[in-house]
Structure 1
Amino acid sequence: MHISVHKKIRVGFFIAFTIIVVASLVSYVIARNLMHNADRLSHAVEVSKRLDAITRYLKDAEAAIRGYSLTKEEAFLNPSMEERSIKIENEYRKLRRIIDDPAQQRNLDTLKRLLDVKYTQLTGQRKGSSSAAIQQAEVSMDRIDHKVEDMILIEQAQLNEKTRMFHFFSGLSIPVLFIISIAAILIGVYSYITLTREFRLQLHIEARMKNYQRELQENIALLNNTNKELEQFAYVASHDLQEPLRKISTFSDRLLSKHRHELPEEAGQLIDRMVAAVGRMRILINDLLSFSRAGRITPESLVPIDLNTILQDVIGDLEPALQEKKGSILFDQLPVIEGSDTGFHQLFQNLLSNSIKFAHPERPLEIRIRRELLTGKEAGFTSEKKWGETYCRISIQDNGIGFDQVYADRIFLIFQRLHGVSEYKGTGIGLAICKKIVDSHNGTITAVGAAGQGSTFVIVLPVKQIRED
């Protein structure tokens, strides 16, 4: 199954977008872990630095007190214990601000109590100290050292955990990014190959289409020339056939008028049949001439036509035949449509003559003509170019003998008859002429019938003819 290039491009774009999203997520996770690890390292360094400062200040204070106790020199008490206590308190507050772990905060509370005890001991040693007091001071300092070590170990454990996570994601990211890169490269190569192939195929198709279009134009030109030649041949041949028919008709009339009484009865009947055949042949030739001329439209012949005037002229011409069938015609007000005057006259002439010819023998003939304005889309045209144009739908309905719907398409073909010549006169060309006229006006004609009930002919014509430059 061939997949269109548009679908391939959409699939390629979706895959590329997915790869970009995955790569972005992986990069985000790695960057986030790197930042967290850096923050944790900075935090651990800061905490260790503050804890080390506290222990250093304590040990300096303890050494100063011991030096003062031994020498009684005031220089050891500079700076004073109050100043040293303020420095320790500042370091402690900085720790309190940067530590947000509950376990570490509890350790800070414990450290605060130990520092208070140590400060009391140092103040007491300044006034004088016994060996027991010195021993208690050493025990207190050991507790502070252990607590500081515990806090540093906790910070180190958290740093190690972040480092392990960072190494895990870093180790995972390398193969993931490698696979993503390989996939992106493969998709890029595949897209390039696909687009190149499709581009070449498109160029080939365009070249073939140009050749087909050129051949089609040549065939259309040839077909138009052939049609013109056939129309000219039919026209000339029909005119040439008129002369021998006139002679046959003339000689037959003279023969019957002068020698009818001399001829046997059977010979007279044969001559009558010959005259009738000549009459039918003349009608057929005239209809062929009408068919060959029907649908010949030039831009100059397209003028606004008042269909009401055309219809009234046709009804006037058919008045005797209409009275013979005791028929009546009711019609809506028809619009003004651009087209050929002669073509529309022949169209209504043939359709109304057809209704009169096939009137039902057991009831008066009634013909109803309705019209409706609608858009090309409402009219059922498949070409979107015609959807915005205005069309007129004209329906001619009668209550004649009708026809079986299976013959709806056949009746518009030339020389197609649903009844024998002995039943209804005609050559089977009238409706073919109607279709040719409607087609030449860019319209449609259809028929709906029911045997014994009547028929309806529906004509759809554009109000204005579309002229192509």
Structure 2
Amino acid sequence: MNHTIEVSKRLEVITKQVKDAEAAIRGFSITRDTAFLRPSMQERSIKIEEEYLHLRQVTKGSPQQQLHLDTLKQLLDNKYKQLAAGETKWRSFRKDTSSVQEGEKSMDKIDRKVQDMMKIEEQHLPEKSEMQRFYSMIWVPAIFISSLIAIFIGIYSYLTLTREYRLQLHIESRLKSYQRDLQQNISLLNKSNEELEQFAYVASHDLQEPLRKISTFSDRLQMKYGSQLPTEANELLERMGGAVARMRVLINDLLLFSRAGRITPENIVKTDLNTLLQQVSSDLEESLQEKKGTIHSEVLPAIEGNPTSLQQLIQNILTNAIKFASPERQLAINIRYQLLKGAALDVPIRENQLEDTFCRLSFEDNGIGFEPAYAERIFLLFQRLHGMSEYSGTGIGLAICKKITDSHHGYIKAYGEAGKGARFIVILPLTQTHQDEQY
């Protein structure tokens, strides 16, 4: 309906402007007043042309109306010429009744063409009016139903959000409760660890005294009465002395384990691994010569850590390699390293360590090796893969290595193949800055 009104309005404006121009020419011819010729016929023609172009745009969806507009365009062009000619003739003060007749005929043709276009628009008006009545009838029910739906959605959203909000509050409350419990458990665990370490130290220290007495009494007994005792008694005394010696070694190793990995932010410094390796190699020089072994190492980087603990870590790994050297070949230990981002490591790391830089140390030897099934077991306390008669030791050395790497927020893994050798991978962060909150 708006379209029909728009077309009718444009046609009326065009007709009115043409008639106004025609009336201006006649008014000037009667009165000779030049005011009737303002605006000029050319300016009037331009305004009529603008309305025509708007009308053509409005009716572009109707091929029939476009054809009528083509005809109307021709009529308007003729009219423009008549108006321009009429203006010139009247200015020269010449009367020409034929021009008036031609103008009237031309105007009649324009009126008929406009009426034809109006009839076309009016033919569609009943159908559009019917559609308007139809939509007017369903408007109220549609708005009512839409309102009901909107109210339902609003109520449902309110209930859902309220439920989610209450659930969120419940979750936050439970999380706070879990955090409090976790903090309490951490405090209890730290206190328990301190008490256990203190107990281990005190127990180990107190056990030294009876061991010393047993060793002293056994030595005195053997020195004073050894010649009088039977051979079997002397053998028993020797076995008792050996047991005491093993017990002393075990207690000392327990003390080492309880003290290993104790680090605080105050004792974390930049440590040159090459210096530590040089010191360890010097300490193990005699054992290496016995096995005719050699250590080949790349130039290692400096990392943050506790120097004493890191030296103990390297010493225990190298001692393990020397102890389990193959009798069939000369021992060769190769030490290499890589600097990798946390995301590139093949170990599970925390999310805040993905962009941290890690030093991946590899200690590889050609010793007797071990079965891959025991790769995790060898890091457990007192776990041995060989009997006491074959290899000495208490099975604490690698457990200490595990404790030291854990305290430095690192990782240690072992790979082995029986009869061919073993490889220990130690992964340590270059800096401990992201780990301060965990000390």
Smaller-chain TM-score bracket = 0.7 to 0.9
Contact 2:362 2:423 in 1 (8 A): yes
Q: Deviations over 1:23-81 (max 9, x none)?
A: xxxxxxxxxx64x253256468779999xx9xxx9xxxxxxxxxxxxxxxxxxxxx9xx
Letter in 1 for 2:171: I
The answer to whether 1:383 aligns with 2:350 is yes
Partner residue in 2 for 1:372: 338
What 5-or-longer segments of structure 2 have no aligned partner? 24-29, 31-40, 57-64, 77-96, 98-110
One-letter amino acid of the structure 2 residue matched with residue 421 of structure 1: M
Q: 1:102-138 CA deviation, whole Å, 9 max, x = no partner? A: 57569989x99xxxxxxxxxx9xxxxxxxxxxxxxxx
- TM-score for both structures, normalised by structure 1: 0.70
Matched, 1:422 2:389: yes
Conserved? CA contact 2:68–2:113, under 8 Å: no
Residue 317 of structure 2 corresponds to which residue in structure 1? 351
Distance 1:189-1:41 versus aligned 2 partners, 3 A rule: farther
Task: Give, as a single letter, the amino acid of the residue that structure 1 aligns with 2:337.
Answer: R
TM-score of the superposition, structure 2-length normalised?
0.75
Would you say 1:186 and 2:152 are equivalent positions? yes
Q: Which residue of 2 aligns with 1:221?
A: 187
Report the Cα distance in structure 1 between the residues aligned to 2:112 and 2:278, rounded to whole angstroms: 122
Q: Please, which of 316, 319, 332 is the counterpart of residue 282 of structure 2?
A: 316
**Residue identity opposite 1:237 in structure 2:** A
Distance in structure 1 (CA, Å) of the matches to 2:390 and 2:328: 16
How far the C-alpha of 1:185 sits from its partner, in A, is: 3.1
Number of matched residues?
378
Given residue 383 of structure 2, which amino acid in structure 1 is its aligned partner? Q
- Which residue in 1 is equivalent to 2:436? 468
Give 3-state SS (helix, strand or coil) of 2:436's partner: coil
1-side partners of 2:66 and 2:140: how far apart?
36
Cα offsets for 1:80-101 (capped at 9, x unmatched): xxxxxxxxxx9xx999976862
2:256 and 2:113 map into 1 onto residues whose CA distance is 120
Change (3 A) 1:45 1:147: closer
The whole-number CA distance in structure 2 between the counterparts of 1:103 and 1:318 is: 109
Q: Contact (CA 8 Å) 1:400, 1:452: kept in 2 or not?
A: yes
Q: Is contact 1:44-1:156 (8 Å) kept?
A: no
Unaligned runs of 5+ in 1: 1-32, 58-78, 80-89, 113-122, 124-144
Distance of aligned partners of 1:383 and 1:173 in 2 relative to their CA distance in 1, 3 Å threshold? farther
Q: Distance in 2 between matches of 1:151 and 1:336?
A: 94
Please tell me the residue identity of whatever aligns with 2:158. Answer: Y
Find the partner of 1:231 among 189, 197, 207.
197
Residue 102 of structure 2 corresponds to none
For residues 316 and 157 of structure 1, do their structure 2 counterparts lie closer, same or farther at Cα, with a shift above 3 Å needed?
Answer: same
Distance 2:15 2:373 in 1: 102
Give distance in 1, aligned partners of 2:115 and 2:286: 129
Structure 2 Cα separation of the partners of residues 148 and 465 of structure 1: 91
> How many angstroms apart in 1 are the aligned matches of 2:292 and 2:330?
5
* Alignment partner of 1:273 is 2:239: yes
What residue identity is the alignment partner of 1:414? L
Contact preservation (8 Å) 1:291, 1:433: yes
- Distance of 1:105 and 1:366 partners within structure 2: 103
Aligned to 1:21: none
- Taking the aligned partners of 2:213 and 2:375, their CA distance within structure 1 comes to 40
Deviations 1:309-333 (A, max 9, x none): 1111111111111111111110111
Change (3 A) 1:446 1:103: closer
Q: Which amino acid aligns with 2:423?
A: T
Paired position in structure 2 for 1:284: 250
Instruction: Tell me if 1:158 matches 2:132.
Output: no
Aligned residue for 1:452? 419
Q: Which of 381, 405, 409 does residue 372 from structure 2 map onto?
A: 405
The question of whether the paired residues in 2 share the 8 Å contact of 1:302 and 1:339 is answered with: yes
> 1: CA distance between counterparts of 2:137 and 2:386?
93
Per the TM alignment, residue 390 of structure 1 is displaced from its structure 2 partner at its CA by 2.1
CA distance in 2, matches of 1:294, 1:106: 102
C-alpha distance in structure 1 between counterparts of 2:142 and 2:416, whole Å: 74
> Displacement, 1:382?
3.4
**SS at structure 2 position matched to 1:334:** coil
Tell me the alpha carbon deviations over residues 149-182 of structure 1, each in whole angstroms, 9 at most, x when there is no partner. Answer: 8776544213223333444555565555544443
Q: 1:48 to 1:165 in 2, by over 3 A?
A: farther
| Residue 209 (structure 2) aligned to one of 243, 246, 264 | 243
Q: 8 Å contact 2:8–2:118 — kept in the other structure?
A: no
Contact residue 265 and residue 436 of structure 2 kept, 8 A: no
Contact 2:4 2:121 in 1 (8 A): no
Once the two structures are superposed, residues 208-250 of structure 1 have per-residue CA deviations (whole angstroms, 9 ceiling, x without a partner) of 1111111111111111111101110110000100011111111
Q: Is the 8 A contact 2:4 2:122 kept in 1?
A: no
- In structure 2, relative to structure 1, the CA distance for the partners of 1:379 and 1:155 (3 Å cut) is closer
Could you say what the CA RMSD is over the residues aligned between the two structures, in angstroms? 3.7
Q: Within 1, Cα distance between the matches of 2:118 and 2:72? A: 12
Task: Return the offset for 1:385.
Answer: 1.5
